Chains A and B, each alone.
Chain A
Amino acid sequence: MTDTIQPTENPTVGTEKSKPKFRVTTILLWVAVIGILALVGWGLINANKTRPEAGQTAPGFTVHYFDGYEWENASASTLEEMKGKVVVLNFWASWCVECRVEADLLEQASRQYANEDVVFLGVAYADVEPNSIEYLKEFGITYPNAPDLGTSISSDYEITGVPETFFIGKDGVIANVVIGPVNGPAMMNTINTLLAEGGSQ
């Protein structure tokens, strides 16, 4: 009976518990956990990125034009170089039926504003280059056009489909976004306003 009533003692547990443990392995483990959480958080933020809207600065990019196309005698340009001009950035594709609706309209407008501070810039999204060139020939498009290499421009502009057109003011701020084919009078109105204001609407 007396054997069973003796309280069991474990002195090592008591001394370990009383001292806080700051071992290197513990610190490393927590650093790894925080790193993983940060990475997951970064991924979630990127996944939920929304399209840059009117009033926001247009994301910068570099374009390498299709053969036979150029802007100011250069076969590649950046958006930064176009600062001070109104930029009509149009995303299209040869397989896109809706793009054919606005193709003539954009070409006519580009000719109309040829002598003004307006740059029409076409970017072919997820398109096969030979088909893009055939499309450009079919509609007799003369304003600068380029493939979206690496799908990077459309990714930065978070386009939801084609056609989509961004009107960027002289200050590099997005003034208007049109989802679907552009409307002639509305497009002229936006461009004229941007030319008059010298900045975004």
Chain B
Amino acid sequence: MKEERNLILEAYFVVRKRQPTTHYPLRTMSSRFIVLSLFLTMFASLLVLPAAAQDVETEEPVLREVSDDEVNEVAKDLYCPVCENTPLDVCPTKACADWRELIRTKLAAGETKQDVFDYFVLQYGDSALARPPKTGINFVLWLLPFIAVALGLVFFARYMKGLRQDDPETVTSASGVQDVSPEPAPDDYSARVEQELKGK
């Protein structure tokens, strides 16, 4: 982990070194001195440059220009804990600007989108990801809506089945198709009254 942290720091500071620096004022030197020093510098560089260039190539990681679009393509799937519910690509805070700059540094060093995600998870936890990995409690929480809907359907189906069995108006015909009688069935009391009247 320490080695990875050191590599990131190295790459970050290499990017920083490329920023323009203030030049030493040449006006204070005489023109003859300038010509002489330029000549000497060129001569010296012919001798030293090949070796120096080799050193630079081996020490510094390969860096490339990374556009804002490339940075935002990664940042849109990340969230910083300071600004909840605001994706990193549109978050206006200084903290998020720093995070985006770190993404740029890492992409410039040749890292992939997944490498950047892995680093952010290590540094800031799963909550930095817009789509946390579906493992452990995250997987249970991800499944929860589906389980809830399935359970709801099962309960609803059982309830409907219960209603049909309880309903005395529902009669199953010989063909297996349920047939509902159009007239309401009379209760026992009225049936008894009818029979008593007939008997008289």
Name A's B-contacting residues (CB within 8 A).
1, 4-8, 10, 12-13, 16, 29, 32-33, 36, 39, 43, 64, 67, 75, 93-95, 126-131, 133, 147, 149-152, 154-155
The contact string, 1 if C-beta is below 8 Å from chain A, for chain B 181-194, is 00101111011001
| Category for how many chain B residues contact A | 35 or more
Q: Are B190 and A150 in contact (CB under 8 A)?
A: no
CA distance A94 to B140 in the complex (A): 36
Task: Point out the residue from B9, B125, B151 that lies within 8 Å of A29, measured CB to CB.
Answer: B151
> Are A150 and B98 also in contact (CB < 8 A) when A5-B194, A129-B5, A130-B9 are?
no
Contacts of A126 in B (CB 8 A): 80-82, 95, 124
Q: Are B190 and A4 in contact (CB under 8 A)?
A: no
> Are A133 and B9 also in contact (CB < 8 A) when A5-B190, A5-B191, A128-B99 are?
yes
20 contacts between A and B (CB under 8 A): A4-B185, A4-B186, A13-B166, A16-B165, A36-B144, A39-B141, A64-B2, A75-B2, A95-B94, A95-B98, A127-B95, A128-B98, A130-B13, A149-B122, A149-B123, A150-B124, A151-B124, A151-B127, A154-B81, A155-B125
B155 CB within 8 Å of chain A: yes
Q: Are A147 and B123 in contact (CB under 8 A)?
A: yes
Contacts of A36 in B (CB 8 A): 144, 147-148, 151
Instruction: Give B75 Cβ to nearest chain A Cβ, in Å.
Output: 13
The residue among B2, B125, B155, B187 with the most chain A CB atoms within 10 A of its own CB is B125
CA distance A74 to B168 in the complex (A): 80
B101 CB within 8 Å of chain A: yes
CA distance A1 to B195 in the complex (A): 11
Contacts of B130 in A (CB 8 A): none
CA distance A167 to B71 in the complex (A): 40
> Are A10 and B102 also in contact (CB < 8 A) when A126-B82, A126-B124, A151-B127 are?
no
Q: Are B98 and A131 in contact (CB under 8 A)?
A: yes
> Are A8 and B171 also in contact (CB < 8 A) when A133-B9, A151-B124, A151-B125 are?
yes
Q: Are B81 and A10 in contact (CB under 8 A)?
A: no
The contact string, 1 if C-beta is below 8 Å from chain A, for chain B 4-40, is 0110110011000000000000000000000000000
CA distance A126 to B95 in the complex (A): 8
